[in-house]
Structures are given as C-alpha cells and as structure tokens.
Amino acid sequence: MKNEPKILLIYTGGTIGMVKDYKSGSLKAFNFNKLLKNIPELNQLNCDIDTVSFIDPIDSSNMNVAYWVEIASLIEVHYESHDGFVVLHGSDTMSYSASALSYMLENLSKPVIFTGSQLPIGDLRTDAKENLITSIQIAALQEKGRPVIREVGLYFEYKLYRANRTTKINAEHFEAFQSLNYPPLAESGVHLKVYKENLLTVRRSKKLVVHKNMCKDVAILKLFPGLGEQVLEQVLAIPDLKALILETYGAGNAPTEEWLVSQLKKATKKGIHIVNVTQCSGGGVLMGQYETSEHLKKMQIINGKDITTEAAITKLMYLLGAGISQKLFKSVFETSLRGEMS
C-alpha cells in the first residue's frame, strides 16, 4: 500500500492563522502544532500534514521579496520529502506572492496552493476552515501516484484558480478573489471537481529550479485624466529604474500628447522596459486596435496582453533578476512562461 501523500503547511501570517482570545476579544496567532486538535476534520483527509511557520508571522501588507525567497526556500528544502504544499497567507497581497512564486519555482511538478481567509479561524462564521481543509485536500490529490495539480494555485471560497491569473477584488466578501481572464482549475461543492483541460501541462522530467534573485528596480504608474508630464518624468527618472508598468485605459490606450510620446521614447532609449497593461480588471491589451495605442505599438512598448498587474510586476522582477538580455526582453515578456497570459 502506498504511503499517504505528505503535505507541508507553511504559515506566513494573516487572518487565517488568528484565533480570538474570548477573554480580551483580541486576535492572537494560532499554534499550528495544535492544528489537528483545533480542526479535527483534518483527520478525515488521507494525508500526513507537517507544519512550518515563519518565526515572526507577518501581516501580508508587510510582504516583500525577502519573504518570497523564504517561502520558495522552504519549498525547496522540503520538495523531495513532500508531495504538496499549502501556503497560508494574508489575502491583501496574496495574488502578488502567489504570482511571484509561480515564476520562482521553475519546472514545478507538485501543487503549491495559496489560501487565507477573511475571518479568523476561531470566528463563529469563519471561512478559514473550509479554505484550509479544501486546500490541503487539493494539494493531496493524486492520480496514478502523481499529483493532479502541478502548478501554483490560489484557493478561496470554493474555487481554485491559477495563482498568477488572480486579483483581489473585494475587501469584505468571502469571495475575495477573481480570475477574470482564465477559468477556475477546480471547484468545490458536494464533490471536488477538477477541470483538467484548464491545468498547466508540465514536463515531468525536468528538475525543480528555484530562482531567488528578484530585481526590485521596477515601478507601476496608473494613467488618469489630468496626469501631467512632470509626474511621468519624475517616475522615469527614479535612480536605477529598470522597468515600468504603464496601467493604460481599456484595451491598452494612452494619451497621444507629444510630451508622453517623447518621455516614453527617451526612457526606452535609456534601456528602461515599458510594459503596457490594462487597468481594467478583465480583458487585455490590443495594441494598435485604436489610434490611442498605435503610437505605443510603433515605439515597441511591451504588450502585456491579458496579464494582471500582479503577475506583470512579479514577472518583471523575475526576468530582470534572471538577467534576460535587453535584446530578448520584449519577446520573453510577451511569452507565457507559467500560464500567466493567453
């Protein structure tokens, strides 16, 4: 008889790991070593669960590149000994972290499932238990001795999404995340339904490569009516800036004013990569469809297609950290590496 799948639970912080102290009414960190005692339902899952926690769990608003490296390193250390990973993370920056990890874990052939909750685990109406239990169940799913999910996913409120396709869209509903440009990988109802046609196909033979060099010399600028030349000029003049995401209107449109064209041309000549990403939640960039994006296309601005801002900024950090040459950068960015764009 085959051993039960081994799942590693990585707690980074966030609401899901909090329990209410009923005497004081305040929230305190949950002891994950007592997980089975507090959530006896986990005993019904056909898997072994190990837990590891950040020494100092953090609010996800404090998430940064060093913590991404810590999560990736924990997965690297336990990769051979475990069959799947569940990362417990605050919901505010979860889409950024999960997108970053999808790039950092090259040749991933095991599930890495991010989850969290809107209410603490000890709360009467909590969503934490369901999110946690189902995430572990998904991470333990196997077929013919191989994991069913072999990519970084994000599970929240009955749906598993490809992590680098997600955006947090609501601060108070249980359905906090959406993947507007890509269908769910699985849905949890009376039965757990996996949509195999939506899963990332993985070449099994390659060994996991963990990329820990993420470049932080990037920025995001959201266009708005009334944006002045000085703002764009100052952003592009940031010392050591290597890439800028321009959040444009609709299908990738931007003002055709001469100052904007001139500033972007000057920046690209300096070697700064400019990526055109739509500020709309769904849909993508279609450069050249309208006159207001024709000038960006002519300038060879990078086409972000239907990538999310979260996946775009972390992809920039990853590609710059990997030292992709100036010449190849545009074509590599415009290529889907982990299923992050169509």
Residues serving a catalytic function are 15
Strand runs (DSSP E) across the chain, as ranges? Answer: 6-11, 18-20, 27-29, 48-53, 84-88, 105-106, 112-115, 142-143, 146-147, 152-156, 159-162, 167-168, 177-178, 186-188, 192-194, 209-210, 218-222, 243-248, 273-278, 302-303
Residue given tokens 């909590």 in the structure block: 126
Number of helical H runs and strand E runs in the chain: 9, 20
How far is Cα 252 from Cα 305, in angstroms, rounded to an integer?
9
CA angle in degrees (0–180, nearest 5) for 99-56-19: 90
Name residue 85's beta-bridge partners.
8, 112
CB 266 within 8 A of CB 238: no
User: What is the Cα gyration radius of the chain?
Assistant: 21
